[in-house]
Structure 1
């Protein structure tokens, strides 16, 4: 017997605004599905998190595009339609297997919600139920403490994506209006409200019921600060007789979250990391790593040189001590030759012991380079940095020899810089004293970035001139193998070991 499809509204943001029925249906479902952009962060899932069970199957329905361009032959709409068709097919597989599927939706599932696209494609084939939710419009009116309409007044709901002239015409023809989908459209929306002669009474609500909720007169809002989750409200004349309230934005206690962006752009971010970045008030980090994070006018960036880790950590902790939410941004994984250790070392000082610090993992360069050729780190392996800035070279050399004697695959970070171009050759020569000249070596540069270059060579043929600071080396063990597959080298280290 096929499963049942549920479209469940989880409300505007505050988890306490989930209905009792929604909570019950979410907790009982076999499969939980939710939409997100490519960063993987789902607001709907975050709202519903307290009602999820560990054994539930999760289906993340990740949009292939949001506002960027696409090379899909059908253009933007073609890419989106193909995505909805593929997503519906994935959910249909569960339904055919008899599993009940819940599709989470912010607000109400059938009010500008992504769920409706699944509903249109599946409701004619499977039993379906929609669980309504509190809309963002209701939440925004509550945040203002001001009614939208009274008695015979008419409320019009408009998307901010309409042309300015069309918005102005509709605003002039109604008593009260709610305009959704702001963000990039805010300038057009404000212009249309002004054209309609309604700017003086227009209100603004950002992230209603969420952390960081903000209310204001719309005329006072800076366009560059407006997120997508914001609403413009134009109350009717009767309703507007009740003054709006503008409480101070609420902020939680300060904290430092140390995150890793992975080896390159946003495709390497985990949903957990993306959520922490989105919630931050301040971003602290080495300039090139901060550049990987999309700009947000609400946030303050504190870029610094790569050689001032302790100062950077102290600055982040001072900001958090003042009540700010701070993300310290590292490349790769923050715990692998990166900022987590530096932050925790400074945080151990007595004056910072009460400042919360969290570390969120990221995809580290060793794993990215290894995956690009197969699984050279598939068995026991070691990780080392060749940099002698924080430890002497004789220690580096001793550890390289120990790793070679132990027959471990070795991932080498920070192999070469302009100040120490000789170390790659020296490390190669040390390893050749204990490893076969034919030992496989992977040279991975800028994996995931525009300058990605992967070379598979041998220890004897390793050319230091191919290596720079953006390169990671993987030196195989005695069991590491190279197999040509489809004209490309696949490198792996078997999990069994025979001496």
Structure 2
């Protein structure tokens, strides 16, 4: 080592329980800036810790896989399992020390928190007295699991105990017979023993099992249904304190109903509020095409139906909530725009008095017209209106009157339900009505399945607009008299509606 040369810093970085969005800002900064990224991995080379941050790793960073020598407590090492692991940590510490001595900062990735059953602590013991060290805390798996299970662990002065599944069965039983809440970790091959201890302590009805919490492969399973031979390492059992369990039971018995907007396309457009409701629901009700967009969760019941029986779906959902179920009524886009929110509230208005006592929530979603507009610029940038061409629930004469009024008032217009197998002519008539009040150059947008794999968006004008190119998956946007088209240098065309008319100054 050259005198005065820079010595690297060792970082123990908690990357959280699995969801990349649960990494702290500080941890992410360290991961991006470190010269060396070290991470635990199995013999096959895969690393959960690395996969959490893989999209943030920088070009040129040195990667140091820490491949564990054993995966069970059996080894050919003459000193046995503990000696084999000790030798492994000695060897990895020596490699990390070489990088640090050469002036490279080393970030050791650790799932959850580095000092909470984290493998990093064994490297820390060997290196912290020799090098500058900083530990970045992370969200522990227990906290991630509690959030996913939707249950607080303790309240007020209740005690909380963390137990490793490696304890003997007698010790586990003795611990579990005490008051308070518990988290049991390190399950895997210890699960059968842990399950017997929970049975002996009479806690099986309070116990909640979750594996790979917050990860894409997360599963929540009733404890009685877990296969002891299929329990992964990344799993744990939470046992809330008895008072919390009683509160959860009371809440479950009260029931609620949420009308949830999924947005128009992929999962990235679902709001966190809507996603939480979907996670907590015991039952999902909706048009089967929309239900197919919601990942299946173990134990969650799904009731799919045809798209033309909104009232039947609403009444079914309300009856489920009345019986104590937690129900999500699923809509595409926003539930309040030609969707299920109105149907549910109409049924409440006309239904039995008990439905008025339910906890009813309407959770908004990104609408299809907003998504369509964003693809082409800002065609709805000034006053606009939204009209459905469907005459299934209102007379066509009403639709015609609204089209005439909107066109005459110079609104930009978003058209829903433009055409179907039973309505092939109405969009053409709507075009004719609007054309009486618009120039042939008025921009028109046809946006189909925005946000999905078969998305297709077309910009045309009123003169060349072909109604046959639309279907029920299409949103049609027709500009006002001020809507303009602009061409960018890359040949892309965008349209927008200015927020002012003529020479008038713009205003809110």
TM score, norm. by length of structure 2: 0.61
Q: What is the CA–CA distance in structure 1 between the aligned matches of 2:281 and 2:333, rounded to whole Å?
A: 19
| Residue 81 of structure 1 pairs with residue 53 of structure 2 | yes
Given that 1:482 and 1:491 are in contact with CA atoms closer than 8 Å, whether structure 2 keeps it comes out as yes
Q: Match for residue 215 of structure 2?
A: none
Larger Rg: 2
- Secondary structure at the counterpart of residue 250 of structure 1: helix
Q: Match for residue 454 of structure 2?
A: 451
Given that 2:287 and 2:304 are in contact with CA atoms closer than 8 Å, whether structure 1 keeps it comes out as yes
Q: Match for residue 126 of structure 2?
A: none
Given that 2:285 and 2:304 are in contact with CA atoms closer than 8 Å, whether structure 1 keeps it comes out as yes
| Residue 495 of structure 1 pairs with residue 496 of structure 2 | no
Q: Match for residue 472 of structure 1?
A: 475
Residue 251 of structure 1: how far off its partner (Å):
4.8
Q: Match for residue 429 of structure 2?
A: 426
Q: 1:251 to 1:302 in 2, by over 3 A?
A: farther
| Residue 394 of structure 1 pairs with residue 397 of structure 2 | yes
| Residue 111 of structure 1 pairs with residue 113 of structure 2 | no
Residue 450 of structure 1: how far off its partner (Å):
1.0
Q: What is the CA–CA distance in structure 1 between the aligned matches of 2:415 and 2:337, rounded to whole Å?
A: 12
- Secondary structure at the counterpart of residue 342 of structure 2: helix
Q: 1:108 to 1:380 in 2, by over 3 A?
A: same
Q: What is the CA–CA distance in structure 2 between the aligned matches of 1:308 and 1:425, rounded to whole Å?
A: 27
Q: What is the CA–CA distance in structure 1 between the aligned matches of 2:145 and 2:291, rounded to whole Å?
A: 37
Q: Match for residue 321 of structure 2?
A: 320
Could you list the per-position Cα deviations for residues 383-405 of structure 1 after superposition, in whole angstroms to 9, with x for gaps in the alignment? 01000000111110110111111
Could you list the per-position Cα deviations for residues 15-40 of structure 1 after superposition, in whole angstroms to 9, with x for gaps in the alignment? xxxxxxxxxxxxxxxxxx999848x7
Could you list the per-position Cα deviations for residues 397-416 of structure 1 after superposition, in whole angstroms to 9, with x for gaps in the alignment? 11011111111110000000
Given that 1:34 and 1:60 are in contact with CA atoms closer than 8 Å, whether structure 2 keeps it comes out as no
Could you list the per-position Cα deviations for residues 164-215 of structure 1 after superposition, in whole angstroms to 9, with x for gaps in the alignment? xxxxxx7899976986488xxxxxx3xx347x8776446673179xxxxx99
Given that 1:441 and 1:474 are in contact with CA atoms closer than 8 Å, whether structure 2 keeps it comes out as yes
Given that 2:112 and 2:138 are in contact with CA atoms closer than 8 Å, whether structure 1 keeps it comes out as no
Q: Match for residue 299 of structure 1?
A: 300
Residue 351 of structure 1: how far off its partner (Å):
3.7
Q: What is the CA–CA distance in structure 1 between the aligned matches of 2:160 and 2:485, rounded to whole Å?
A: 70
Q: Match for residue 208 of structure 2?
A: 206
Query: Number of matched residues?
Result: 374
Given that 1:137 and 1:231 are in contact with CA atoms closer than 8 Å, whether structure 2 keeps it comes out as no
Q: 1:37 to 1:107 in 2, by over 3 A?
A: closer
Q: 1:490 to 1:79 in 2, by over 3 A?
A: farther
Given that 1:259 and 1:359 are in contact with CA atoms closer than 8 Å, whether structure 2 keeps it comes out as yes
TM score, norm. by length of structure 1: 0.62
Given that 1:215 and 1:247 are in contact with CA atoms closer than 8 Å, whether structure 2 keeps it comes out as no
Q: What is the CA–CA distance in structure 1 between the aligned matches of 2:282 and 2:373, rounded to whole Å?
A: 35
Residue 129 of structure 1: how far off its partner (Å):
8.4
Could you list the per-position Cα deviations for residues 299-319 of structure 1 after superposition, in whole angstroms to 9, with x for gaps in the alignment? 111111111111111111111
Q: What is the CA–CA distance in structure 2 between the aligned matches of 1:337 and 1:138, rounded to whole Å?
A: 37
Measured on the aligned residues, the alpha-carbon RMSD in Å equals 5.1
Structure 2: segments with no counterpart, 5+ residues: 1-11, 30-45, 59-110, 122-130, 174-182, 211-219, 239-244, 504-508
Q: 1:376 to 1:365 in 2, by over 3 A?
A: same
